[in-house]
């Protein structure tokens, strides 16, 4: 498959625009800058081939450059048909040691063709966002999968899929669950998702969040972030949950908790964050008020049943870029953002999570790639080593000029002893 360049009318201008985006991201990613100095000096990835399937935009581009600076050859495809920024893809593809197959707004054949090209690159390490590349290697290229040293997985959905593979005995190499480590989930999932989702909803619709009832489907770390930020923007927040503990947590955090069948009649804005399918379905569309806005902040476009929405609508039209209006037979209008795909990455104005947040997440990715080369792990899903997570936190604090306390020897001894009593 060809790389990105043949699709662009003006390759030189596209690369220049992509380079500007990369420059801005580099300037605000101090962790990546510090790690790049180490990687360029030590070359920990020399001889490795790193295959990636990710959202190809500027922050991801800095991670790609960092991995290449460590001595690896890199091939990358998109992990969502609408999240690739072609100018960034072109700028990456122009660099030595990097091949980008990612393109924006592709059909299924092109989308999986790009991922297939990365698989045929015969990666020794994978970096995935959603587990599509790992699945492809195991299903279509099992001989290559047996030679992979290991992988990293960025998102909740991908970790769920990997754990299911491992439980079935189908995962043939070790993968770090990057999504689950504190330096990722406590910042990327909570603050990154919370801020980027609501910012992109506001930009796409040009409507306020304040004063509206925001229904958040799911109260994991991502849902908690959306709910917290919406509450801070003076919205009334309703949470729907299937886990009784998370439902109770949402209640104790001050949010109203309802089943979706009841919340559907109350909401002005609906945001799904579950990583599961069929969160909003036909009966919910029937109960929604005129003007309701629906969007997905999970991973795949299955959380809102778009097919059922289309089937129930009398007509549909694009009313703004990234906003499709479905008029129901009774005259109510429901508005779907970004085709039901990730609203913070797949919309026409979407830029993904804030740069500083992704600096932390991609710092974890880079350190885990290095860890895979230096360690011998059994096939399966592995937690990120705590020493790696803490190393990244120290790098971030140093970059921000923030000092913090340390335990004294006496405190260390106290915590490590079972003999101290009252």
pLDDT in tens, 108-119: 999 999 999 999
**In this predicted model, what pLDDT tens digit does every residue of 20-75 receive, in sequence order?**
999 999 999 999 999 999 999 999 999 999 999 999 999 999 999 999 999 999 99
Instruction: Supply 381's token pair.
Output: 């899903």
3 confidence band (pLDDT: 50, 70, 90): low
User: How is residue 86 written in tokens?
Assistant: 């072609």
H-only helix segments in 289-404: 306-312, 343-346, 355-374, 386-400
- Distance CA(71)–CA(355), nearest Å, equals 24
Mean pLDDT of 246-257: 98
In angstroms, how far is the first alpha carbon of the chain from the final one? 70
The structure tokens 């549909």 sit at 316
The distance of Cα 129 from the centroid of its chain, to the nearest Å, equals: 6
Find all residues with CB under 8 Å of 34, minimum gap 6, and list them.
395, 398, 399
Q: Residue 110 has what pLDDT?
A: 94
Q: Could you give the domains of the chain?
A: 5-184+354-400 (3.40.50.1480), 191-346 (3.40.50.720)
What is the spatial distance between Cα 74 and Cα 90, in angstroms, rounded to a whole number? 14
- CB atoms < 10 A from the CB of 175, how many? 29
pLDDT score at 2: 58
Q: How far is CA 240 from the centre of its chain?
A: 22
| Tally: H helices and E strands in the chain | 19, 15
In the DSSP assignment, the letter for residue 190 is I
E strand or H helix at 283:
helix 282-287
- The percent of residues above 90 in pLDDT, for the chain, comes to 89
pLDDT of residue 342: 92
Cβ atoms within 10 Å of 282's Cβ, excluding its own: 13
Tokens coding 28: 């605000």
The confidence band for 125, taking pLDDT boundaries of 50, 70 and 90, is very high
Band (pLDDT 50/70/90 cuts) for residue 7 is low
Greatest alpha-carbon pair distance for the chain in Å reads: 75
Residue 385 DSSP symbol = P
Q: Is the pLDDT of residue 254 over 80?
A: yes
Alpha carbon separation from 322 to 81, 124, 251, 259, 338 (Å, rounded): 14, 38, 33, 28, 5
Residue 422's pLDDT is 61
CB neighbour class for 408 (10 Å; exposed up to 12, middle 13-18, buried from 19): exposed
Give the model's confidence band at 400: pLDDT under 50 very low, under 70 low, under 90 confident, else very high: confident
What is the average pLDDT score of the chain? 94
Q: Output the pLDDT for position 8.
A: 59
* Banded pLDDT at 1 (limits 50, 70, 90): low
Average pLDDT, stretch 197-217?
97
Please give the pLDDT value at position 351.
86
């Amino acid at each position: 498959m060809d790389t990105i360049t043949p699709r662009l009318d003006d390759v030189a201008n596209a690369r220049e625009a992509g380079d500007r985006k990369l420059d801005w991201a580099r300037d605000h990613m101090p962790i990546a800058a510090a790690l790049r100095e180490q990687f360029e000096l030590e070359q920990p990835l020399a001889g490795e081939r790193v295959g990636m399937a990710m959202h190809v935009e500027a922050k991801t581009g800095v991670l790609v450059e960092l991995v290449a600076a460590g001595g690896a050859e890199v091939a990358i495809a998109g992990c969502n048909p609408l999240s690739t920024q072609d100018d960034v893809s072109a700028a990456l593809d122009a660099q030595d040691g990097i091949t980008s197959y990612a393109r924006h707004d592709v059909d299924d054949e092109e989308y999986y063709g790009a991922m297939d090209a990365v698989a045929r690159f015969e990666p020794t390490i994978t970096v995935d966002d959603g587990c599509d590349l790992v699945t492809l290697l195991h299903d279509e290229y099992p001989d290559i999968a047996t030679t992979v040293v290991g992988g990293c997985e960025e998102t909740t959905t991908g970790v769920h899929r990997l754990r299911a593979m491992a439980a079935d005995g189908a995962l043939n190499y070790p993968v770090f669950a990057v999504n689950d480590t504190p330096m990722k989930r406590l910042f990327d999932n909570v603050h990154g998702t919370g801020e980027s989702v609501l910012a992109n909803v506001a930009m796409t619709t040009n409507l306020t969040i304040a004063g509206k009832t925001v229904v958040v489907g799911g109260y994991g770390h991502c849902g908690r972030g959306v709910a917290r930020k919406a509450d801070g923007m003076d919205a009334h927040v309703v949470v729907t949950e299937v886990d009784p503990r998370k439902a109770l947590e949402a209640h104790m955090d001050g949010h109203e908790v309802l089943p979706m069948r009841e919340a559907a009649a109350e909401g002005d804005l609906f945001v799904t964050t579950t990583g599961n399918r069929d969160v909003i379905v036909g009966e919910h569309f029937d109960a929604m008020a005129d003007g309701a806005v629906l969007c997905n902040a999970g991973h795949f476009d299955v959380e809102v049943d778009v097919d059922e929405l289309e089937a129930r609508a009398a007509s549909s039209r694009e009313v703004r870029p990234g906003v499709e209006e479905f008029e129901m037979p009774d005259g109510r209008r429901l508005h779907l953002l970004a085709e039901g795909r990730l609203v913070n990455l797949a919309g026409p104005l979407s830029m993904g999570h804030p740069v500083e947040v992704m600096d932390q997440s991609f710092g974890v990715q880079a350190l885990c790639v290095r860890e895979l080369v230096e360690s011998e792990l059994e096939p399966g899903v592995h937690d990120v080593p705590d020493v790696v997570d803490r190393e990244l936190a120290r790098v971030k604090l140093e970059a921000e000029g923030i000092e913090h306390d340390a335990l004294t020897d006496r405190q260390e001894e106290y915590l490590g002893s079972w003999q101290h009593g009252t």
